[in-house]
Structure 1
């Protein structure tokens, strides 16, 4: 009887150990755009969305490190990838790795897995250990000018929790100021100055550089962007830091982690995981 009791105790202990090992280290909020049509000058638009690697590579790394991800968009709809990003060049030329990461993203963005901003805010932000904002031009559409996004960013800023954004994702940081909608409108009219009460004013940061943006704009067959993100961030009050075009580059300042371009995906993931490990 005693031997059986010992076996049962051992089995329970092993089960608890297994559950503990499987339990997530924490939950990371992933903020993505609801939109797919980037406004250009003269009322034109261009198809947009998130960049597959900028979302998928850090997301995969976070999951492998033991973190659970919660995906949110302003409207709670399923976000869409920019089809230009479905290209092996963003995966070190490895088409099989691209396919694997696409599968990771597909699982994370199933319709029943995506939440709306109001829903996530109402549910409480204290549960999240960090916030991550992938790139692609889509954040310029409905994140940078979104007061609810600003509310989310202020929470993580006040708590000193890691806030990571890559490529065009850092433009979202402009939401955390007095009048993000008015400011974004003024950017398109080239009629603005420093952002008022911007929580990241003076932070060292990076974003898709002007030289890189010029290459993208040249592919628009003569159409023009409403504004360049790097100039907008500098004007708002960011202390901008850049590497050479297309080189991986990540800047860390306090809780803020920013990556310059699509090729900064792995470095940004490592920096975010390291920041989470310190908490």
Structure 2
């Protein structure tokens, strides 16, 4: 059976290359993929991620080649992203403690989670969370996304995330101890030097904001402590870190490399890469 990857995408805009890079890599490796979005809506690439003339303010240059822009537009025009899995109907929602009959509902929730974990174990080899501005809106603090991540972690299967998608890892926590699952791990993600400043536009599909509502680097530094580390590699062209089960990519230029490291983890047993400790 070919390996199968579950790819989580925002409904508020994914960055084109951050899906394209891993997807092309998985296709070349002979993997199959399933897409999932928070409510089953078709994901849409952020417009500027298909524009080779868009100048990224923090970097002062275009971050999208003409070839990448063409490929993302072709992907958007295809039917490949049609009919993604609806996360809201697939993954159970944890009940509020204030709800009537909370204990019975919690027991049912845990039974449903156990069934989900068995399904994931049978169907998938790895999880990937794609970056962009959209994940800030509907993935980072989505309890159902956290449940997926925690299930893959319990199954000891690879969990990859790119750019702002890495925030999902920082916020995924077991309710018993509330510690981030990346505590003691080494990760990368969107560094503070890459963040937009006040007065510059941070773009999604249907929104423009100033700076992102949270500095991802600071969140990751805090979430990995003690014993782990955030590694930004600012000034280096790429930044991908493998600290099993996590594979994290800093930003757009790291998309293909992130996909490659997922393949190396699955097919060649890679467990640590991109840092020394």
TM class by shorter chain equals 0.7 to 0.9
Q: Is the 8 A contact 2:16 2:49 kept in 1?
A: yes
**Paired residue for 1:58?**
22
Moved more, 220-229 or 205-214: 220-229
Q: Is the 8 A contact 2:50 2:72 kept in 1?
A: no
Partner Cα separation in structure 1 for residue 20 and residue 79 of structure 2: 11
**Aligned match for 1:271, one of 241, 261, 276:** 261
- What is the number of residues matched between the two proteins? 223
Q: What does 1:78-117 align with in structure 2 at a 5 Å threshold? A: 78-88=42-52, 89-91=62-64, 93=65, 95-104=66-75, 106-110=78-82, 112=83, 114-117=84-87
Greater C-alpha radius of gyration: 1
SS of corresponding position for 1:107: coil
**Paired residue for 2:108?**
none
Higher relative contact order at CA 8 Å, sep ≥6: structure 1 or structure 2?
2
Partner Cα separation in structure 2 for residue 172 and residue 146 of structure 1: 8
**Paired residue for 2:105?**
none
SS of corresponding position for 1:141: helix
**Paired residue for 1:29?**
6
Partner Cα separation in structure 2 for residue 59 and residue 31 of structure 1: 12
Partner Cα separation in structure 2 for residue 218 and residue 211 of structure 1: 16
Which one has a larger percent helix, Structure 1 or Structure 2?
1
Query: Deviation at 1:119?
Result: 4.3
Q: Is the 8 A contact 1:246 1:263 kept in 2?
A: no
Determine whether 1:201 maps to 2:176. Answer: no
The CA RMSD over aligned residues, in Å, is 2.4
**Aligned match for 1:125, one of 100, 113, 120:** 120
Partner Cα separation in structure 2 for residue 117 and residue 196 of structure 1: 23
Q: 1:84 to 1:149 in 2, by over 3 A?
A: same
Q: Is the 8 A contact 2:5 2:125 kept in 1?
A: yes
Partner Cα separation in structure 2 for residue 108 and residue 119 of structure 1: 21
Query: Deviation at 1:97?
Result: 4.2
Q: Using structure 2 for the length normalisation, give the TM-score.
A: 0.73
Q: Is the 8 A contact 1:147 1:175 kept in 2?
A: no
Q: 1:25 to 1:90 in 2, by over 3 A?
A: farther
SS of corresponding position for 1:125: helix
Partner Cα separation in structure 2 for residue 233 and residue 167 of structure 1: 11
Q: 1:262 to 1:218 in 2, by over 3 A?
A: farther
Query: Deviation at 1:229?
Result: 1.1
**Paired residue for 2:160?**
164
Q: Using structure 1 for the length normalisation, give the TM-score.
A: 0.72
**Aligned match for 2:32, one of 60, 68, 74:** 68
Q: 1:246 to 1:136 in 2, by over 3 A?
A: farther
- Structure 1 residue runs of 5 or longer lacking an equivalent are 1-23, 37-48, 180-194
Q: 1:218 to 1:262 in 2, by over 3 A?
A: farther
Partner Cα separation in structure 1 for residue 147 and residue 184 of structure 2: 20
Q: What does 1:214-253 align with in structure 2 at a 5 Å threshold? A: 214=196, 218-220=199-201, 223-237=210-224, 239-245=229-235, 247-253=237-243
Query: Deviation at 1:78?
Result: 0.9
